[in-house]
Structure 1
């Protein structure tokens, strides 16, 4: 996704904008119209003429952004500015073409700078009806929406009657259904360019980071959805005339499909989160065969024990451990509001500095679930664990497998980057394969008593965990993990103990010999 382009403005002219008098009564919102124009010399004036008379006195400013047209669009805009004193018009001409999305960015920045409350996107080629301006802004004026989209698909058959070509109609329908399914939305149309936004909503999203091309409109929808903004659709008429279409249909479909897939991946924790993001709270991995499931299975076989949960986050795993009858002490840098209710004791501490002395000693089990990879020197934490663990205590560790096919594939393809969670979590300082992990644990003085491998987290990847497709994929993943865990295991779960001291081993052998002699 390209960064925001600078605004190249050779000419900026404006007429006096409407001033709103100070009053105790709620003021009418300052409404602006952003007219994006490119080679619109034959249509621009007629578009402005069609702004309804009863709407003109509500307009605080019309911003005409000529995106370096090759014709006289800019001169038409200047001429209209001089002949229509009732309209407060600002004319911008970019010396360099910024693209459809880049032109919108420049206009929205101006709308924000000029203290507009609402900005309507209107195309200078006349494809969208200015007669509908009142309908477009009405939900925003009433405070019922943060964004309003004009939809050509809300009225059955209207798009085709308005001249929308069949291939565009079918493509619109197919892409909209795909985008709704992937992004979790219910819009009747994603591809209308007739829109109105609250400038407060625009301030709250990073629209400047969006693409400069035609997929800008899709990206800003994703940003609004992610920000929890209210989107309202209103029906608009469809008009297809002799305007020139500058959209490469196949390229556009590719770009918007990629954007919504990236949003979906972001909501699952993959990608760096430009569009979709995950909650900061550390989730419980509840699926059968998950790392938390394996840890809980192990603890279920133990009598009530004293357990230390390192990096407990909000305490979701600790809560399940307590339910098994264990006494749980949690440690983390900060406590979520629910943490104190989910643990028996909680100690604030940064594990980079070791285990806080307030934790105490004599623990039967220490849990380091998805912790070691977050530390710069996990070896230091392992040394600290030995000091708080009973001589015969257990250390339970879960660590993501960097040898998994996903990071391997991304590295081979040259698209390595960090994600929000998972193996390539951007908060991970260390990466481990099974060999490097066991070597580090052995050097720290621990022996592996039991190990297991965990497959892909299908509960996160697919919300419909019970569907036939998901069940088949899960089964195939389990088979793959069993055949080659170093390539297909998503995580390793290890149960460790310190080796017994030599004198204890000698005593055990002597006791066993004496017992055998007595039995004889």
Structure 2
């Protein structure tokens, strides 16, 4: 099994952990046989879908990660950072965008192109960092924004993401919200404190309590 590594394609450094992301899998609906994943990395999460008999295809910037992904998916290939439509138009039943679009310039335009690859009625699952998360707001109050290798403060992020901004982008791309998924901090204490506050507020404070913005959308 590969160990977490980094890739420096296009002058940027990305961390590629080799682990199954259960928070992504829970968003995948039962329908959809042909699935694409942009930024698949080692395709560890996508390999679970492949083991279920789904036809999964992945693309990524890292040649090293793709060599592993090829052994796990129906196909996997390296793409250029500016490749607008890595899969054919309306060729997919579903598309995974797991922590990808926050790294893209003019990401709202790229999302519109990505949506065209999905058949009408097909789904798109999206995960991005929540920049309204209470910890992130604390740094803004202090007048600082750190650069970290991963997480909300990932130094490679180009976009400031919130629920409302992602929803606006998706509506502009012809995607209808199916449902939001709550994703809390990995720390036991932070996770449970934020969960209690979120539920106690009947999710009115969701925008400040969840660590990531995670949603499933359907192409209109």
- TM-score tier, shorter chain, comes to 0.7 to 0.9
Give the 5 Å matches for 1:121-520.
280-284=15-19, 292-299=21-28, 301-303=29-31, 305-335=33-63, 336=65, 337-356=67-86, 361-458=90-187, 470=188, 473-482=190-199, 483=201, 484-499=205-220
Q: After superposition, give the CA deviation of every residue in 1:163-219 in whole Å (9 maximum; x if it has no partner).
A: xxxxxxxxxxxxxxxxxxxxxxxxxxxxxxxxxxxxxxxxxxxxxxxxxxxxxxxxx
Structure with more of its chain in strand, by fraction: 2
Q: Does the CA-based 8 Å contact 2:133-2:207 persist in structure 1?
A: yes
Deviation at 1:351, TM superposition (A): 4.7
Aligned CA RMSD, in angstroms, stands at 2.2
Q: After alignment, is 314-323 or 347-356 more displaced?
A: 347-356
**Cα distance in 2 between the residues matched to 1:283 and 1:492:** 22
Could you list the structure 1 runs, at least 4 aligned residues long, displaced by more than 3 angstroms after superposition.
none
Aligned residues: 202
Q: Which residue in the other structure is 1:144 paired with?
A: none
Indicate the structure (1 or 2) with the bigger Cα radius of gyration.
Answer: 1
- Aligned-partner SS, 1:435: helix
Please state which structure has a larger fraction of its residues in helix: 1
Query: Is contact 1:349-1:355 (8 Å) kept?
Result: no
Structure 1 residues 387, 435: CA separation in 2 closer, same or farther (over 3 Å shift)?
closer
Distance 1:325 1:480 in 2: 39
SS in 1 for 2:179: strand
RCO higher in structure (CA 8 A, sep ≥6): 2
Once residues 422 and 414 of structure 1 are traced to their aligned partners in structure 2, the CA distance between those partners, rounded to angstroms, is 19
Gaps of 5+ in 1: 1-277, 287-291, 459-469, 500-520
TM-score, scaled to structure 2: 0.82
Query: TM-score scaled to structure 1, two decimals?
Result: 0.37
Question: In the TM superposition, what whole-angstrom CA distance separates every residue of 1:321-358 from its partner, at most 9, and x where no partner exists?
Answer: 2123211100112232422112210122135331235x
Could you say what secondary structure the match of 1:328 adopts?
A: strand
Measure, in 2, the Cα distance between the counterparts of 1:392 and 1:496.
9
2:162 and 2:213 in contact (8 A); partners too = no
* Structure 1: distance between partners of 2:86 and 2:76: 11
